[in-house]
Amino acid sequence: MPTPTPPSISPTPNLPGPEFPENEVVGGLLETSSQFKSFYQDVRGNITQTIRWVLDKDLKDTAYTRFVFDQEGRVIPLYIVLPRIPPNPEDDFIVAHELAAFLVVNEGYPLAYTLKPEPSLHNLCTMLNDIFLTPLRDSMLERYGFDLERNYSSYTKLFYRQNVNFSCKPEIPGIFDSNTLSMAFAYAKYTIYWEQLLHEAGTRDIEFKSWYEEYCPSALNDGEELFKMIQDIGWDKPNDVKRFLDWVIWVKYQLNDYIDIYTPNVAP
């Protein structure tokens, strides 16, 4: 089963592959997946933006939604990129997950964006946003019968594959390492997922935590601190997310020279 990657914000709408009409993407899934059919029929009419469906065969086991700024400075989802069109029957979750990005943005959840055109900062913003975007989207999908335990397993397996050679750089006081910080954001995201969506309150995924203890203990420490703040503030309302992002950017890491926050005002 392909695994979603975090939505990203880009100033340029460069398409990575050919576009396809929506019926070629969802037609088969509507016939083979009762969960997808219920979700799609329930929410599709609430998505007012034009969705562009794009194929990128190089993705293999991932998919993503790309956001862009429009001419009035609004953040809008632009296109969904999938590894297969038409999708396989087991891709029902991935397509629903990407559609749910539109719903979250339309509800006014704030997004972090980079002030400087550096790939490392772009990735950092993507990971910061996804602390909330993945749990928010998948909590919607749970209502329609999607198996979140299976999807969590897919997420973490992909995480281990992508970071097989990862190790934290030594900490330097006063200097943040964007890769290590991204790993702290990932830890906070998966801890929300484990505790809140899989209903394992007060516990940790032992295998996942052990990976951090071995390969990136500094990110584990920061990730736990981030999660404690999320517990104090909340995670499932736009104002909660805004307060958390303010704390991360202005207080905890003082990233305000590099990252800012935008509350979407989505174009009809």
Closest by Cα among 145, 148, 150 to 34: 145
pTM of the model: 0.87
Query: In which residue are the tokens 């009409």 written?
Result: 21
Query: In which residue are the tokens 């993503």 written?
Result: 64
Asked if residue 86 has a cis previous peptide bond (ω within 30° of 0), the answer is yes
CA quadruple 58, 162, 187, 215: dihedral, nearest 10:
-170
Give 68-117 pLDDT, tens digit per residue.
Answer: 655 554 556 678 999 999 999 999 999 999 999 989 988 889 989 888 88
Query: In which residue are the tokens 């897919």 written?
Result: 154
Give 184-232 pLDDT, tens digit per residue.
Answer: 999 999 999 999 999 988 889 999 999 999 999 989 999 999 999 999 9
